[in-house]
């Protein structure tokens, strides 16, 4: 009996070491996971934010270069359209000026003005106010207008789109 009691004590001591080892491993995993999460959120996110700032700075430099290469300006006109918002009636008033490559493109724009206006109006109807309230949304709208207008023109040639008036109004 005494021998059995000693064996049980030795097993319980061994079991205690196993428990201590398991707890130690769990703590090590938690600390490792916490360290990895801290690294991701503190270091990698800062690097990502720095890269985004760099991209924005490059875009600004590109925009400045594009401004230096101004072509022939063509005023498409002012558009007042209903936006696609479900929760309230919202209207967009926007005046658009296109930067044409040369006088040929401007003449083609004048000839196809009804088609250009229709393409722009159709595009504007599909937008919501939340899409147009961010700088990214406005840039995306400019790119879409540029693509649609260049698709209408047989020779292309519109280099940039400018908004000289941009108002979103709730009825």
The band of 33, judged by pLDDT with boundaries at 50, 70 and 90, is: confident
Tokens 């503190």 locate to 42
Encode pLDDT of 147-157 as tens digits.
Answer: 999 999 988 88
Residue 45 is inside which H or E element, if any?
A: helix 45-68
DSSP string, 99-138: EESSHHHHHHHHHTHHHHHHHHHHHHHT--HHHHSSHHHH
Q: What is the pTM of this model?
A: 0.61
């Amino acid at each position: 009996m005494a021998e059995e009691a000693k064996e049980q004590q030795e097993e319980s001591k061994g079991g205690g070491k196993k428990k201590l080892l398991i707890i130690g491993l769990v703590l090590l995993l938690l600390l490792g996971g916490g360290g990895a999460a801290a690294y991701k959120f503190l270091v990698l996110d800062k690097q990502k934010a720095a890269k985004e700032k760099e991209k924005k700075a490059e875009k600004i430099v590109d925009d400045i270069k594009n401004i230096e290469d101004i072509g022939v300006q063509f005023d498409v006109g002012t558009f007042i359209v209903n936006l696609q918002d479900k929760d309230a009636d919202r209207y967009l008033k926007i005046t658009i000026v296109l930067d044409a490559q040369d006088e040929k493109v401007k003449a083609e724009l004048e000839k196809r003005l009804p088609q250009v206006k229709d393409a722009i109006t159709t595009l504007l109807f599909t937008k919501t106010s939340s899409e147009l309230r961010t700088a990214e949304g406005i840039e995306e709208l400019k790119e879409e207008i540029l693509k649609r207008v260049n698709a209408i023109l047989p020779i292309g040639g519109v280099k940039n789109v400018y908004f000289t008036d941009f108002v979103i109004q709730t009825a």
